[in-house]
């Protein structure tokens, strides 16, 4: 479930009542309803475009087009309560996670429609993004910042209209336009923040909630240092306790610390064979890129079990495996899917105003510090108005909260904090999982069981059967 991030590069609890103007806007028709095929699925879906107000306080004003895809239930007429999917990021679109139909939702879809919304500013809903240049991997951080500032300056979008609250109101207009009654909501990562905002704005529209990688109401996205450091420390501890890993990499933490110190003193110019083409290439390895790659690897326990091998080789001067892994996200288009300007619009309006000096000091970690330090300057360029934080209110809908114990961004304590306002929540913690649980082991069956009977106690003991991945000790890959 690669619903990145809360911020790979990297709550809202707005208790606002439904207004009559929003209700009037709900009469806007679905502009297009057609059969379509989206990357990641083989069968046909229903795709449609819905006009929604750019500013929900001005429903008669400017509009933007929202893209929605519906995977119809396999058994027609069995359930009237669909599952709405809210992707992560912020900046990821529903159309970019449709592969979850076969990974996590195949049992749910047997009896329910699955609805994927491209949040405003993402995917096919007017994506707010910057074009990547082939030479960006060779640019300095200052050059990359200049490219981003130029992209922001050339974008005419009203960034203040792209908030979590606006996306929640869009979701309600989609529900009404499609003619559904109370819906079930699945949110992953940032989608859990959006899902909480929706449940608080429209409690009568929510039948149940499933949140995977839960954002706490008080969570500030750039302040992820302690959670990232805890996940990294856990990896070091697990390697030290594993006979094979400890034998192969007995000085792993010292090697990591030495690499970090060297990179923080200045970037390293690497001359190596391009992992993609085998042609000679010059690579500028900076501390920020080093830590960013480490952080992204920690999202998946299977990936994290490769870290000792990557760190050890880099410490020995063999950077090729590390650089190859660094290129992985761009090679497979994962980072390219994230609408970076939408991500900044949300984070700069909702999170950075709460990133106080005290919080930055208490949450300090080498893994995230350099990125966190860049946010104030980036947000100054965005010039987006801050969104006032509201005290979280109670959510009465039954909720299933899923956490991976090894998650570096939304670990279990974040879900515990969110559950304080959800008296009917069940919390499942998976020991050997990271950021994303819904597609693992017996989770697809549990999702169906919960949605069928959200009031019932869920027996999730089968999730304890998910094994820990093995460590990679050599170039051949993980141990059998």
- Which residue in 316, 254, 314, 306 sits closest to 475, CA to CA? 306
Same domain, 138 and 81: yes
Distance, in Å, from the CA atom of 130 to the CA atom of 158, rounded to the nearest integer, reads 16
The confidence score (pLDDT) of residue 328 equals 78
Report the percentage of the chain scoring pLDDT > 90: 74
Same domain, 159 and 282: no
The confidence score (pLDDT) of residue 370 equals 83
Same domain, 105 and 56: yes
| 354 located within any domain | no
Distance, in Å, from the CA atom of 265 to the CA atom of 275, rounded to the nearest integer, reads 26
Q: Backbone phi, then psi, for 208, in 5-degree steps?
A: -160, 165
Structure tokens at 200: 């608080």
* CB within 8 Å of 120: residues ≥ 6 apart: 52, 64, 66, 126, 161, 162, 166, 167, 170, 342
Name the average pLDDT for the chain: 89
Same domain, 215 and 251: no
Interval 342-378: pLDDT, tens? 999 999 999 999 999 899 888 888 888 888 888 888 9
- Which residue in 227, 217, 230, 226 sits closest to 417, CA to CA? 217
| Structural domain of 85 | 20-221+390-465
String of DSSP letters for 282-319: EEEE-HHHHHHHHHHHHTSHHHHTTHHHHHHHHHTT--
Structure tokens at 111: 């009896």
| 300 located within any domain | yes
| 412 located within any domain | yes
Distance, in Å, from the CA atom of 352 to the CA atom of 375, rounded to the nearest integer, reads 7
Does residue 332 have a pLDDT over 90?
A: no
Contact call for residues 41 and 98 (beta carbons, < 8 A): yes
Structure tokens at 256: 């990591």
Contact call for residues 28 and 49 (beta carbons, < 8 A): no
Reported confidence tier of residue 330, pLDDT bands at 50, 70, 90: low
How many structural domains are present in the chain? 2
Eight-class DSSP state of 74: S
The confidence score (pLDDT) of residue 1 equals 37
Interval 188-207: pLDDT, tens? 999 999 999 999 999 999 99
Alpha helices in 351-422 (DSSP H): 357-362, 369-382, 412-419
Same domain, 210 and 244: no
Reported confidence tier of residue 16, pLDDT bands at 50, 70, 90: very low
Same domain, 316 and 425: no
The confidence score (pLDDT) of residue 29 equals 46
Q: What angle do CA 196, 200, 206 make, to 5 degrees?
A: 80
Same domain, 232 and 305: yes
What is the rounded average pLDDT of the residues 434-454?
Answer: 98
**Angle 369-382/287-298 helices, nearest 10 degrees?**
100
Distance, in Å, from the CA atom of 49 to the CA atom of 143, rounded to the nearest integer, reads 38
| Strands of 83-86's sheet in order across | 30-36, 45-53, 63-71, 114-117, 83-86, 183-188, 206-212, 399-404, 425-430
Structure tokens at 142: 């200052």
Same domain, 82 and 216: yes
Contact call for residues 139 and 102 (beta carbons, < 8 A): no
Distance, in Å, from the CA atom of 370 to the CA atom of 294, rounded to the nearest integer, reads 13
Interval 216-235: pLDDT, tens? 999 999 998 999 999 999 99
Strands 114-117 and 472-474: unpaired
At 134 the three-state DSSP class reads helix
Reported confidence tier of residue 272, pLDDT bands at 50, 70, 90: confident
| 186 located within any domain | yes
Interval 123-159: pLDDT, tens? 999 999 998 776 676 777 888 889 999 999 999 999 9
The confidence score (pLDDT) of residue 255 equals 98
Does residue 337 have a pLDDT over 90?
A: no
At 282 the three-state DSSP class reads strand
Q: Which of 134-143, 331-340, 389-398 has the lowest mean pLDDT?
A: 331-340
Distance, in Å, from the CA atom of 86 to the CA atom of 97, rounded to the nearest integer, reads 9
Eight-class DSSP state of 435: S
| 377 located within any domain | no
Same domain, 199 and 61: yes
Q: Which of 50-59, 107-116, 299-308, 336-345 has the lowest mean pLDDT?
A: 336-345
Burial label, 65 (beta-carbon count in 10 A; 0-12, 13-18, 19+): middle
Same domain, 118 and 143: yes
- Which residue in 435, 13, 456, 459 sits closest to 211, CA to CA? 435
Distance, in Å, from the CA atom of 351 to the CA atom of 219, rounded to the nearest integer, reads 8
Does residue 3 have a pLDDT over 70?
A: no
| 15 located within any domain | no
Q: Backbone phi, then psi, for 51, in 5-degree steps?
A: -80, 125
- Beta strands in 54-171, from DSSP E residues, in sequence order: 63-71, 83-86, 114-117
Eight-class DSSP state of 7: -
Q: Cβ atoms within 10 A of the Cβ of 462, count?
A: 12
H/E stretch holding 184: strand 183-188
H/E stretch holding 401: strand 399-404
Does residue 76 have a pLDDT over 80?
A: no
| 450 located within any domain | yes
Same domain, 229 and 204: no
Same domain, 62 and 153: yes
Interval 27-71: pLDDT, tens? 444 556 889 999 988 889 999 999 999 999 999 999 999 999 999
**Angle 320-331/307-315 helices, nearest 10 degrees?**
130
| 357 located within any domain | no
CATH number at residue 413: 3.40.50.1820
Residue pointed to by tokens 């990936």:
303
What predicted TM-score, i.e. pTM, was given to this entire model? 0.91
Eight-class DSSP state of 216: P
Does residue 75 have a pLDDT over 90?
A: no
């Amino acid at each position: 479930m690669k619903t990145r991030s809360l911020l790979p590069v990297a709550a809202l609890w707005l208790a606002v009542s439904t207004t009559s103007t929003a209700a009037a806007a709900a009469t806007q028709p679905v502009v297009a309803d057609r059969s379509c095929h989206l990357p990641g699925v083989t069968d046909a879906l229903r795709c449609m475009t819905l006009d929604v107000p750019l500013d929900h306080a001005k429903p008669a004003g400017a509009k933007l087009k929202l893209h929605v895809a519906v995977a119809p239930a396999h058994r027609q007429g069995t359930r009237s309560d669909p599952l709405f999917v809210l992707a992560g990021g912020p900046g990821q679109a529903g159309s970019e996670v449709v592969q979850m139909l076969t990974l996590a939702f195949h049992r749910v879809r047997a009896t329910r429609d699955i609805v994927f919304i491209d949040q405003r500013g993402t995917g096919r809903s007017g994506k707010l993004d910057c074009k990547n240049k082939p030479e960006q991997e060779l640019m300095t951080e200052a050059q990359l910042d200049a490219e981003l500032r130029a992209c922001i300056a050339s974008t005419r979008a009203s960034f203040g209209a792209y908030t979590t609250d606006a996306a929640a109101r869009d979701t309600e207009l989609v529900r009404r336009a499609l003619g559904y009654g109370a819906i079930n909501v699945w949110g992953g990562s940032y989608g859990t923040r959006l899902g909480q905002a929706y449940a608080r704005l429209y409690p009568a529209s929510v039948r149940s909630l499933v949140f995977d990688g839960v954002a706490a109401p008080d969570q500030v996205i750039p302040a992820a240092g302690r959670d990232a450091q805890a996940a990294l420390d856990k990896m070091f501890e697990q390697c030290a306790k594993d006979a094979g890993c400890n034998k192969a990499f007995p000085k792993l933490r010292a090697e990591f610390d030495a690499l970090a110190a060297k990179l923080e003193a200045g970037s390293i110019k690497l001359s190596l064979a391009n992992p993609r083409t085998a042609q000679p290439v010059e690579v500028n390895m900076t501390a920020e890129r080093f830590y960013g790659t480490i952080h992204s690897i920690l999202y998946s326990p299977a990936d994290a079990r490769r870290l000792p091998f990557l760190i050890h080789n880099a410490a020995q001067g063999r950077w090729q495996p590390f650089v190859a892994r660094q290129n992985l996200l761009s090679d497979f288009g994962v980072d390219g899917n994230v609408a970076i300007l939408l991500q900044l619009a949300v984070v700069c309006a909702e999170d950075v105003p709460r990133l106080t000096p005290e919080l930055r000091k208490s949450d300090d970690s080498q893994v995230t510090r350099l990125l966190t330090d860049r946010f104030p300057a980036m947000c100054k360029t965005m010039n987006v108005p801050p969104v006032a934080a509201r005290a979280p209110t109670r959510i009465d809908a039954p909720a299933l909260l899923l956490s991976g114990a090894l998650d570096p961004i939304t670990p279990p304590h974040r879900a515990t904090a969110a559950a304080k306002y959800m008296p009917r929540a069940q919390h499942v913690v998976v020991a050997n999982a990271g950021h994303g649980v819904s597609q693992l082991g017996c989770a697809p069956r549990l999702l169906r069981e919960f949605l069928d009977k959200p009031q019932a106690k869920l027996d999730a003991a089968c999730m304890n059967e998910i094994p820990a991945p093995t460590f990679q000790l050599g170039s051949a890959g993980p141990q059998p």
